[in-house]
Structure 1
């Protein structure tokens, strides 16, 4: 399975090299949207914290006086092919099944932002502009080169085994590369930046910055009560998630001093059909766990379900 994944990654990269050549030499058209665009992307498959960055940018520019909109493919949502308006900044018009889990999550969390989905990102930008939005945050947009952008932000992690969509040389297209800061980097960021430039063969003037992810806390699903980060350390917990890189979630719990009784892993964007919920419910009853702990992305797909109504989520 690992060898097959590597083969498919190399095959995909070959296609991207050809595709990039066509765009670099103006053999394929690049379309200009009617509003400024900031793209958030990466060169690997799977989660690289693009959505948290996109959400941060929406809040950041809204506080500066902009009227920002999220432009997303709406991966695995029913509107992915035809496109649609998830939120016009005042009202939500879709379910998570239609919008996709991440766009719907952002629309719920930040109702002032516009959220538009569909594989035709130019059309989404045009819709956003028509509704009065003046800045587009393009989620997972680094490979979507047919749409012009004003700024390319690329998240990249130096991980030992990471399947890539594009070769490392593609990072040279990025205006800014964002790399996750670890404890070992705190006192040597500039030195590390130079090492990364050398290792990845980037231009000396390449802008590289480091970031950290800070958890906000825990929230009960039923009544949205906020719980302090340390509140679950002495509790019996079952943790489960449907993420591209689930171990990051479990590692975060460990860093917070939380040791789950057990963990369950599901595929990314998992819809949690009744059979899966039945299994989780049985495990909860058998273990007599105090809480079931999931990510916000998972929680929106569990809210309002008959199977979860009595769960301590």
Structure 2
């Protein structure tokens, strides 16, 4: 009750700033809607994976799902993101010399896992990057644009918005009073809405209630997904799991679901909870490794953080490092979702 009262007072204080921010974003969107600001269209099918809120809603696992879907159906594909947190600028095609520092942690994760199936690229200017990719890779059939919903300089042919089960957009507020990058009405631009991080056994009645709440703003297909964690994998690919004690390390926007899962599966002795896209330092690593040795615990981290920690750990230290792979699983409508996506690419391709 005290926490709710505190949050109410904070939002009340921030409300005037939220009104101003909302007015600015609405005006910006109006300029695009009236075609007073240019939005480039391209012949190649473009899929936007985005959200209304700041923070992690599960965009990278969704991009990975799309990569696997297109690979299974024989479509050559590319991915394009801004490369948040990277220390480079401009257009960059991921290659084996890259690191999380040169292309960003999430694009590096995609390249590390899927470089044989997808062209992974980063660029701040998507209107420049798309024709560059098409010119360099004429066999591409589709480009997946990560976190592109508010980047309206390029018009996506299929736009999907992700919203977290624990904080759906229709219960949120515009920044800084809440986490929304724009008003709830922005959902009108989406072609579909995916509710992420749902309970694995979410009941039908609750799904129907959420569908109605979402469709109050715009009548679009709504899908529900959950996170499935895999078995912990050793960094060196060899070392077997050797301890029930776990020291968890993560740099996520919302690590609560991960911490909850690890606490249920293992004896969690400590959680180093760093900010999203955190670039680990030697000082960070020394603290982490020292505590792991003191607690006789293995170090468990995420796929996104794996590459950054691997660069700091020595060969022997790496034997005590493990990561948890994750993937999204559709609770409802997975087959329909895949059909909509594949039909869009096939139909768009037939007009090229």
Contact 1:142 1:152 in 2 (8 A): yes
TM-superposition CA deviations, 1:224-277 (whole Å, max 9, x none): 2497xxx68x7011101111112122122234x223111111111111101111
User: SS of the residue aligned with 1:122?
Assistant: helix
Decide whether aligned partners of structure 1 residues 303 and 183 sit closer, same or farther in structure 2, where only a CA change above 3 A counts.
closer
Decide whether aligned partners of structure 1 residues 225 and 175 sit closer, same or farther in structure 2, where only a CA change above 3 A counts.
farther
Q: Which residue of 2 aligns with 1:24?
A: 33
TM-superposition CA deviations, 1:27-84 (whole Å, max 9, x none): 11111234110000001011000011011101111211111111100011123x3121
Q: Which residue of 1 aligns with 2:143?
A: 136
Q: Tell me the distance in 2 between the aligned counterparts of 1:20 and 1:118.
A: 22
Unaligned runs of 5+ in 1: none
Matched, 1:188 2:184: no
Decide whether aligned partners of structure 1 residues 143 and 269 sit closer, same or farther in structure 2, where only a CA change above 3 A counts.
same
Matched, 1:104 2:121: no
Q: Tell me the distance in 1 between the aligned counterparts of 2:21 and 2:65.
A: 30
Q: Which residue of 1 aligns with 2:162?
A: 155
Matched, 1:239 2:284: no
Matched, 1:69 2:85: no
Q: Tell me the distance in 2 between the aligned counterparts of 1:36 and 1:70.
A: 12
Equivalenced residues, count: 298
Contact 1:6 1:163 in 2 (8 A): no
Say which of 56, 59, 64 aligns to 1:55. Answer: 64
Matched, 1:248 2:252: no
Q: Tell me the distance in 1 between the aligned counterparts of 2:233 and 2:128.
A: 36
Q: Tell me the distance in 1 between the aligned counterparts of 2:48 and 2:179.
A: 21
Q: Tell me the distance in 1 between the aligned counterparts of 2:205 and 2:253.
A: 30
Q: Which residue of 1 aligns with 2:302?
A: 295
Q: Which residue of 1 aligns with 2:129?
A: 124
Q: TM-score, normalised by structure 1?
A: 0.86
- Distance apart, 1:183 and its partner CA: 4.9
Q: Which residue of 2 aligns with 1:224?
A: 237
Contact 2:49 2:63 in 1 (8 A): yes
Which structure is higher in RCO with an 8 Å CA cutoff and minimum separation 6?
2
User: SS of the residue aligned with 2:98?
Assistant: coil
User: SS of the residue aligned with 2:64?
Assistant: helix
Matched, 1:178 2:186: no
User: SS of the residue aligned with 1:107?
Assistant: helix
Decide whether aligned partners of structure 1 residues 302 and 9 sit closer, same or farther in structure 2, where only a CA change above 3 A counts.
farther
- Distance apart, 1:23 and its partner CA: 0.7
Say which of 161, 183, 197 aligns to 2:214. Answer: 197
Q: Tell me the distance in 2 between the aligned counterparts of 1:241 and 1:66.
A: 33
- Distance apart, 1:93 and its partner CA: 4.7
User: SS of the residue aligned with 1:260?
Assistant: strand
Say which of 269, 292, 301 aligns to 2:277. Answer: 269
Unaligned runs of 5+ in 2: 1-5, 173-177, 322-352
Q: TM-score, normalised by structure 2?
A: 0.77
Decide whether aligned partners of structure 1 residues 217 and 147 sit closer, same or farther in structure 2, where only a CA change above 3 A counts.
same
